[in-house]
Chain A
Amino acid sequence: MEFAFTQEQDMIRETAAAFLAEVSDSAAIRRAMVTDTGYDPQLWSRICTEMYWQAIHVPEACGGMGLGYVELVATMEQMGRRLLCSPFFATVCLAVNALRVAGNEAQQAHWLGQICEGSVTATLAFNGGSRHEDAEAITATWQRDGDSYVLNGDYRYVIDGHSADLLIVAARAEGTSGAEGISLFLLPAHTVGVTRVWLPTMDQTRKQATVQMSGVTLAQDALMGEPGQGWASLAKIIDLATIALAAEQVGGCQQLLDMTVAYTSERVQFNRTIASYQAVKHKAADMMLQTEVARSAIYYAACVAQEALEGGPLAGELSEAASVAKSYCSDAYFSIAGDSLQLFGGVGFTWEYDVHLYFKRAKSSEQLLGNGALHRERLASALLD
């Protein structure tokens, strides 16, 4: 039993930490977050050519690095720490997972290849505007028209939806509900009938959009998997992305803790650093506890995700591991962000200091792909019903 990073995994983490500290400092985040796309295309291009992260867990046969989910999670943790503004989550954690889980050989060869080249960004859209991100949230519809499929309907909360080159969307057969009738489709974002509108968001470090389908006509090869049988795949894709998102949350927890300890160790009141007060120390201790517990949750979930993709005895635990990790990490991140803001005092309330960036990101991450309560209810229904 080895529940620790290997030397290679440690190196990947250290490399990511050093690179991101350099390229995603406060000034870089603030520049990127007010742009239209929400990220710096030059930096993304550097990531795609120097770091090759977009290819991290794409199989080598499709042009990827062929690394595992543990490496992906370790990288996401560092991105969360530095609030990296990039299309990584949408492209890799949503779309690459979707292609790996539901794509056929031709779709994988074509699109994974393009993503690895760095020439294409992608995202996944399924939620029509529900506060619960589950099967019921899918309201867009598909219908057959001869050899084609026609899609109609709206998607909301689509991560990087306005800037992605490739869309993977879920739609349901007209008249179906729940997990029935759901299909997944792949389409270039500029397909006729697709309208995409950027949504201004409170957390500016992650961009969201609405995507509207109005009589979008797709050929047979746009379909992923069997028609109407898409929910099982989509549920798995969402669970995989949820674990990556939880890792990003842990990175945010760690950075807030480090920032808070550093600030309170400098700030002097009543002739003492405020870090010397027990009221402050005990709050920081609780923040460290939450951070370490959250980290234990995501490392285990990463191992489960790896087996869910590649096979192994833990594969069946995917849904539970995702809910365990996301419920704890969501609550931990928001709680730590709130405590951090409090311990920074007045300056934590300013636009100038970075705490608000994390505070806002903590809330948007909490709500994305199901908040703590939703994931606990998922666990409860497995335990109690």
Chain B
Amino acid sequence: MKLSFSPEDEQFRQEVAGWLQQNLTGEFEKLRYRGGPGDEHMFPEERKVWERTLAEGGWTCVGWAKEYGGRGCSIEQQVIFFEEYARAGAPGRVGHIGEGLAGPTIIAFGTQEQKEKYLPGIVAGTQLWCQGYSEPSAGSDLANVKTKARFDEGRGKWVINGQKVWTSLAHESEYCFAIARTEPDSVAHKGLGFFLIEMDQPGIEVRPIEQITGTSEFNEVFFDDAVCGAGDIVGAPGDGWKVAMGLLGFERGVSTLGQQMQFQNELDEIVRLAKSNGAAQDPVIRQRIAGAHAELKIMRYNSMRILSGQSGSDGALQKEALIYKLFWSTWHRSLGELAMDVLGPECEILEDGPYELSRLQSMYLFVRSDTIYGGTNQIQRNIIAERGLGMPREPKGAAK
């Protein structure tokens, strides 16, 4: 085991930190620590400008191969980039869905034409993406998608009808990648297609969802005879599930180290608060802060294990990767509760009316979604037990 970075990597770290220090200034100063999960609604226009500035500096898609416009960074360099990005307090990326999900899928499964049409806009930070998976009846049972896609021979286009939900950044995005049923009578993961759909068209309506925080970053997206071109399906009709699940393999957890820097910022704020308001003298609070600190440290080591490990030959996730979502989401939810308990009665008092939450208040409420989205804790436990421990699969109910 070796835990240190090479001198070249440390030099790369200096380069990233230096660029951020020079550029995260002036009009971007107010974006520091803003726009992350729970705060996505803040400064969308300014963050779009920031995304293009990043692109001009060559700091978008750092992990993509150079032939697709990326920076071709090693895993170590990607880790360093995400760490320094978070350490500098640089804002939540409006382009992360394109860079992390849509782009890698197109690179892996897309045609040459799709790569040429879509990748440059992601790299340049000019075209944002959203993800159309969940539906009112397809939550944990993600394959229960009802949205339909029918090929109109006359127009030579796919016509899409249905509804997506929990679509973050839909109102800011140029494109949506979505799964829809290409075979009308198919069920579950069979008969789906994976589509690349332009958002600015008459057949699409985006309605914001007002969340527990009083703010909106998730949306409902309605498709009413929306269209996309014959060449805008990734993979063959019927292969949509395979393409969608292929995404999971791309995320090796590099960006999780950046997420942990954000967690560290939050914990640091709680520690400062506890020292200033006397909560740091309370033995129970001391235990909880120390426990949160210890587990955040271990979370980082766990990510280092994921990044250093070899996936099985069958592409199966390592055990330390299987437990990761359940671990961080549960930890983060507890951190929100700890923040309120450190604040004491002050936790009720808002920054301003009518419903202006402080950063910690907003975090406390938003983290309730962490254990729900991207596979609830209950689904995660099923996955861990079945794939990690080989226990029997859940029986399925009879199809209606």
Contact = CB atoms under 8 A, between A and B. Distances in A.
Interface of A: 1-6, 9, 70, 257, 261, 264-265, 273, 275-276, 278, 280-282, 284-286, 288-289, 292-293, 295-297, 299-300, 302-303, 313-314, 320, 323-324, 327-328, 373, 376-380, 383-385
Count chain A CB atoms within 10 A of each CB in B3, B310, B390 and give the residue with the most.
B3
A285 B1 contact: no
Contact of B302 (A9, A285, A293): A293
B301 A3 contact: yes
5 contacts: A1-B308, A261-B390, A285-B380, A296-B302, A376-B286
Contact of A376 (B274, B291, B308): B291
A70 B1 contact: yes
B290 A299 contact: no
B289 to A, nearest CB: 6
A373 B287 contact: yes
B389 A288 contact: yes
A371 to B, nearest CB: 12
Nearest to A376: B290
Given A1-B307, A265-B390, 11 more contacts: A3-B1, A3-B301, A4-B308, A261-B391, A265-B391, A276-B392, A285-B384, A327-B294, A328-B295, A380-B289, A384-B271
A292 B295 CA distance: 12
B1 A377 contact: no
A292 B319 CA distance: 7
A288 B323 contact: yes
A282 B384 CA distance: 8
B378 A282 contact: yes
A3 B323 contact: no
A351 B378 CA distance: 34
Contact of A6 (B1, B76, B289): B1
A6 to B, nearest CB: 7
Contacts, number: 158
A292 B323 contact: yes
A343 B301 CA distance: 30
Contacts of A9: 1
A3 B3 contact: yes
A260 B389 CA distance: 10
B350 interface: no
Contact of B287 (A2, A3, A264, A377): A377
A280 B381 CA distance: 10
Interface of A, secondary structure class, is: helix
A303 B287 contact: no
A323 B320 CA distance: 21
B2 A379 contact: no
B2 A289 contact: no
Given A1-B76, A379-B293, A284 B305 contact: no
A272 to B, nearest CB: 8
Interface residues on B, range: 35 or more
Given A1-B304, A3-B3, A4-B1, A285 B388 contact: yes
B294 A1 contact: no
Contacts of A378: 290
Contacts of A4: 1, 305, 308-310
Given A3-B301, A380-B286, A380-B287, A275 B323 contact: no
B142 interface: no
Interface in B281-321: 283, 286-287, 289-291, 293-295, 297-298, 301-302, 304-305, 307-310, 319-320
Interface string B320-349: 101100110000000000000000000000
Contacts of B394: 278
Contact of A281 (B290, B302, B381): B381
A285 B326 contact: yes
Interface string B251-275: 0000000000000000000010011
A192 to B, nearest CB: 45
Nearest to B392: A276
Contact of A284 (B1, B307, B310, B389): B389
Contacts of A285: 323, 326, 380-382, 384-385, 388-389
A307 to B, nearest CB: 9
Nearest to A385: B280
Contact of B274 (A264, A276, A323, A384): A384
Given A281-B381, A285-B326, A380-B286, A1 B79 contact: yes
A324 B322 CA distance: 22
Contacts of A293: 295, 298, 302, 323, 327
A384 B286 contact: yes
Nearest to A9: B1
A281 B301 contact: no
A265 B391 CA distance: 7
A264 B392 CA distance: 11
A229 B1 CA distance: 34
Contacts of B9: 1
B4 interface: yes
B5 interface: yes
B385 A284 contact: yes
A300 B298 CA distance: 8
A325 B389 CA distance: 24
Nearest to B76: A1
Contact of B301 (A275, A296, A377): A296
A320 B294 CA distance: 9
Nearest to A295: B320
Given A1-B308, A384-B280, A292 B1 contact: no
Nearest to A276: B392
A314 B5 CA distance: 13
Contact of A1 (B3, B274, B386, B395): B3
Max count, chain B CB within 10 A of own CB: residue among A1, A323, A327, A385: A1
Contact of B392 (A5, A275, A295, A379): A275
A282 B305 contact: no
